[in-house]
Amino acid sequence: MLRIGIHGLGFMGMMHYLAYQKLSGVKVTAICETLPERRKGDWTKIKGNFGPQGTQMDLTGVAVYAEAEEFLADKNIDVADICLPPNQHCPMTVAALRAGKHVFSEKPVALSLADADAMVAAAEKSGKILMVGHVLPFFPAYAFVYEAARTNRYGKLLGGHFDRVISDPVWLKDFYNMATIGGPLLDLHIHDAHFIRLLFGMPEKVQSVGRLRNGVPEYFNTQFIFDNPQLVVTSTSGCIFQQGRPFMARSEVHFEKATVVIDGGGTTVLTEDGQAVPAELPALDEVGIFANELKESTDAFIQNKVSPILGGSLARDALALAMMEMEALRKPERI
């Protein structure tokens, strides 16, 4: 039995808790959370931008802690699943690895490359595994694209475009704080940065143009430039001011023999013979999607090997990509 301790029982902590219930050979044995009502199982105030509303939970058999030190001293935890705000990922990951736990941290891996490097180095030193919750490849449409690329189903990859644009989340007062959340670049676009790195490898450089808000990227377009000039990858991410379109994600991935189009209306394969064929995808709700992500990570923890999708170094590369974009956006001539 792989024993999981969830650190931070907010929106993601709840999603992970529910998703773990769908896995066999895995058990949530502990929770660490500062809010007393959540430690008592009152999750009714938890609500994210997708997934179920929180309910009253029965936490019988689950150890609950308010303090990280006590949580990390619990010998009944094999994996610390860190669902804390991003600025706490690095210190809590390093502490958990030192305490002899494997770590699954939510995305983004950290808010600085120095922190991400420290996390990867701490994992190497501890002999434990660090994985990071980049869930996008487990959404059925993106899993379909990743599998097509991995198995060469439609021939060589030629590139693609990735859109992820939201209405300004005015209710999140800290959203544009680079020291706590990281704005649209590190909270939102990091999903596509990770998928681009996973699919195409690490680009040589990026060209980004966009709007900044007090120096923080707000809305931006990027061209990812690879060694191979035939590989053309672009993205658009950020926030618009109007509230009428809370969330929009649209992607297309170009292969030699097909183009896969992912948008709100479904996933379509444009084939060589001119057809537009709906992709056959499993029907999964959000908890099911997170369960697939956590199955990938818990299998890897059990086998003591890093997942090719969720590894800490890959998440570090995704952050490096985002930082390259930030540097391009902040060039003095653009401010």
Ligand X SMILES: NC(=O)c1ccc[n+]([C@@H]2O[C@H](COP(=O)([O-])OP(=O)(O)OC[C@H]3O[C@@H](n4cnc5c(N)ncnc54)[C@H](O)[C@@H]3O)[C@@H](O)[C@H]2O)c1
Using CB under 6 A, list all residues that contact ligand X: 8-13, 32-35, 38, 48, 68, 83-86, 88, 106-107, 133, 135, 187
Q: Can you tell me the distance from the alpha carbon of 142 to that of 192, in angstroms, rounded to the nearest whole number?
A: 10
Q: Which is nearer to ligand X, 34 or 207 (CB)?
A: 34
Nearer to ligand X, 39 or 330 (CB): 39
Shortest distance in whole angstroms from residue 33 CB to ligand X: 5
Cα separation, 307 vs 223, whole angstroms: 28
Rounded to the nearest whole angstrom, what is the least distance from the CB of residue 321 to ligand X in the complex? 17
Closest contact distance (angstroms) between CB of 29 and ligand X is 16
- Paired strand residues for 322: none
- Helix (H) / strand (E) element for 92: namely helix 89-98
Assess contact for 39 and 31: CB atoms under 8 A.
yes
Shortest CB 228 distance to ligand X, Å: 30
- d(CA 147, CA 63) in angstroms, rounded, equals 39
- CA separation for the pair 223, 86 (Å, rounded): 26
Minimum distance of ligand X from residue 67's CB (angstroms) = 8
The angle subtended at Cα 158 by Cα 270 and Cα 275, nearest 5°, is: 10
Nearer to ligand X, 254 or 293 (CB): 293
Residues 6+ apart with CB under 8 A from 44: 53, 54, 55, 56
> Cβ contacts of residue 314 below 8 Å, gap of 6+?
132, 134, 194, 197, 198, 308
CB of 96 to ligand X, least distance (A): 12
- Closest to ligand X by CB, 48 or 100: 48
Q: What is the dihedral of CA 296, 301, 302, 308, to 10 degrees?
A: 50
Q: Which is nearer to ligand X, 40 or 331 (CB)?
A: 40
Altogether, the residues listed in the chain come to a count of: 335
Q: Give the containing element (helix H, strand E) for 197.
A: helix 190-200
User: Is the Cβ of residue 157 or residue 216 nearer to ligand X in the bound state?
Assistant: 216
User: 235 vs 268, which CB is nearer to ligand X?
Assistant: 235
Please report how close the Cβ of residue 269 comes to ligand X at its closest, in angstroms.
Answer: 25
